[in-house]
Amino acid sequence: MKAFGYVSAKDVAHAVALLGEHGAKAKILAGGTDLLVELKHAVHNPEIIVDVSRLAELKEIVIADDGLHIGALATHADIMNAPIISGMFPALVEAAHSIGAVQTRNLGTLGGNLITCVPSVDSGPALIALDAVVTVASAEGERRMPLAELFVGPRKTSLKPGDLLIDIIIPKDNLDKPAAFEKFGLRKGQALALVNVGVSFWVGDKSVFKAPRIALGAVAPTVIRAPKAEAYLDGRKISAEAMAEAGRIAATEAKPITDFRAGAEYRRDLVAVLVKRALAKAQARAAAKQKELVA
């Protein structure tokens, strides 16, 4: 690695001040599992590294008035082990578990994973399917935006130099919303997704899909929604046939590429299958929750 300066931030205010002062010359160190690789490959040549990895305030996973807050520095292992998350959103546990291996999940953070903004980002689809919002801090203050607006293009977020991702929020109206995550890679461990999928829906009166969300990863420049498939499901009676048809429609909305991992046609087929599987898994979760309520 080329030489750089290093400061360990004492708190969020200190981190934001340092980032404001150094702007584009600074890089933020969170988990480091992506940043250190990029520094070794000289993708970035920062003058200074602002280490935020010790900021406990950004690791908290808590329910507040406006929803579930996951601190940007919560590691994938923290997410897997948080009872609030496994109880309410097993889809997020599945997504976290699908990332890297134990060593990378112990260091890598949710915020760091999201801002890599790679098309296959495994933290993306389930959170997009749950209408997640992010908080960003800078010298000008804090602002919120939908997670979908963070993703601009491959490895390109809407964050500017000086911005610090603070937390990821699942809005309170979506707490407990049945959701699921599915990923297909070439291996179980340490494999990039050929396709990953996040879905969520409520079970409406007379057992129809209500507020369905389908998010697809690795089949477009960023994580995308499948609005036609969602519109098809909205208000429709829940059935295996409807899930399969939604998968077929979503496949037409995907824009996959062919690369050395898989062909575009194969990825499109995977979208149809994974959407169907994820919808079925979310439905099983909704049914289990219903049973719990009745019992």
Partner 1 sequence: MTDVTMTVNGQTRSASVPPETTLLQLLRDNFNLTGAKLGCDVGDCGACTVIVDGQAVNSCLMLAGQADGRRVLTIEGLASRDHLHTIQKTFENSGALQCGFCGPGVLMSAKALLDENLNPSTQEIRDALSGNLCRCTGYTKMIEAVQDAARLMREDSRAQLTHARTEVATP
Q: Does 25 bind partner 1 (CB under 8 A)?
A: no
Residue closer to partner 1, measured from CB, 9 or 238: 9
Number of neighbouring beta carbons within 10 Å of residue 288: 11
Tokens 């112990």: give the residue: 106
Residue closer to partner 1, measured from CB, 29 or 165: 29
The number of C-alpha atoms within 13 Å of 61 and in the hemisphere containing its C-beta is 21
Q: Does 56 bind partner 1 (CB under 8 A)?
A: no
Q: Are 193 and 185 in contact (CB under 8 A)?
A: yes
Q: Does 100 bind partner 1 (CB under 8 A)?
A: yes
* Helical spans, DSSP H, in the chain: 12-22, 35-40, 76-81, 83-88, 90-97, 102-107, 110-116, 124-129, 147-150, 227-233, 240-253, 264-294
Which range of residues in 59-67, 100-108, 129-137, 282-290 is near partner 1 by CB under 8 A?
100-108
Q: Phi first, then psi: give them for residue 240, nearest 5 degrees.
A: -65, -35
Which range of residues in 104-112, 123-131, 139-147, 258-266 is near partner 1 by CB under 8 A?
104-112
Which range of residues in 32-40, 84-92, 152-160, 213-221 is near partner 1 by CB under 8 A?
32-40
Burial class from Cβ neighbours inside 10 Å (0-12, 13-18, 19+) for residue 1 reads: exposed
Per CB under 8 A, contacts with partner 1 among 224-243 are: none
Q: Which of 86, 106, 135, 158 binds partner 1 (CB under 8 A)?
A: 106
Residues that bind partner 1 (CB under 8 A): 1-6, 8, 29, 32-33, 36-37, 39-40, 49, 51, 53, 77, 100-104, 106-107, 188-190
